[in-house]
Chain A
Amino acid sequence: MTQLQVLLFATYADAFGASAVTVTVPDAATVEDVLAALRVLPGGATLPARPVVAIDRRYSRGGSVAVRAGQEIALIPPVAGG
């Protein structure tokens, strides 16, 4: 198993009550594994079906993308800059 830190912002930070959480996922995990681990945490049930994920500060495409320890993983709520 691998421990990964996930950064949270705006509505997601409010929902989880934290700006970052640590999840435990299988080795050779994917974005979908991270999301599944987040959904069982307090506040995790409020996540949308397919939240936007960024890996190393770039948008990730799809739940099957691999993640590993040391990467910067973040959930990105709907953006509202400007």
Chain B
Amino acid sequence: MIRVAIVAARIDPASLLAEVTSAGTGATTLFLGTVRDVNEGRPVTGIEYSAYTEMAHEELERIAQEAHARWDGVRIAVEHRVGVLTLQEVSVAIAVAHARRAPALDAQRYVIEQLKQRVPIWKCEHYLDGDRQWVDPSAHNVMALPDV
């Protein structure tokens, strides 16, 4: 069982847990990514996530299929949110269930690590001082925006 989605509405982690859990699963994991208040030492007020929605959905589906092929029997539900999120809101939720804990934990780690490397989603941080910047994890820093 696999379900992935790019969503604009608030994520309900409990619904993802309910989706992946079944009579045959003995281990269920839940990963939540949430908006934190400081990045690179700057106070953050919120993050605007944007996506190449169609490709993000397809790439997420490919990642989940890869995990499914590698860890037979895993049940996976993933939602990634787009739009403006405030502090502590959930940006991504990954629920994975399996008969045993090792495949569930390993598959979940695979999905989040691949998501961060491959899924075309971007975040623009809004700072307390009114500035905003696109985050570039590949450079371990942020790129300044042109004045608009």
Contact = CB atoms under 8 A, between A and B. Distances in A.
Say if A and B assemble together: yes
Interface of A: 7, 9-11, 14-15, 54, 57-59, 74, 76-82
A74 B55 CA distance: 10
Q: Which 8 A-B pairs have the closest CB atoms?
A: A81-B121, A10-B122, A57-B55, A78-B138, A80-B135, A82-B116, A78-B136, A80-B123
Instruction: Decide if the interface of chain A is mainly helix, strand, loop or mixed.
Output: mixed
Contacts of B116: 79-82
Instruction: Decide if the interface of chain B is mainly helix, strand, loop or mixed.
Output: mixed
Chain B CB count within 10 A is highest, among A58, A78, A79, for A79
Contacts of A57: 52, 54-55, 58-59
Given A57-B55, A57-B58, A76 B120 contact: yes
Interface residues of B, number: 34
B26 interface: no
B24 interface: no
B9 interface: no
Contacts of B58: 57-58
A82 B51 CA distance: 12
Interface string B106-144: 000000100111111111100000000011111100010
29 contacts: A7-B52, A9-B50, A10-B50, A10-B134, A11-B122, A11-B143, A11-B145, A14-B134, A14-B145, A14-B146, A54-B52, A58-B55, A74-B52, A74-B120, A76-B52, A77-B134, A77-B136, A78-B137, A78-B138, A78-B139, A79-B120, A79-B122, A79-B137, A80-B137, A81-B49, A81-B115, A81-B116, A81-B119, A82-B112
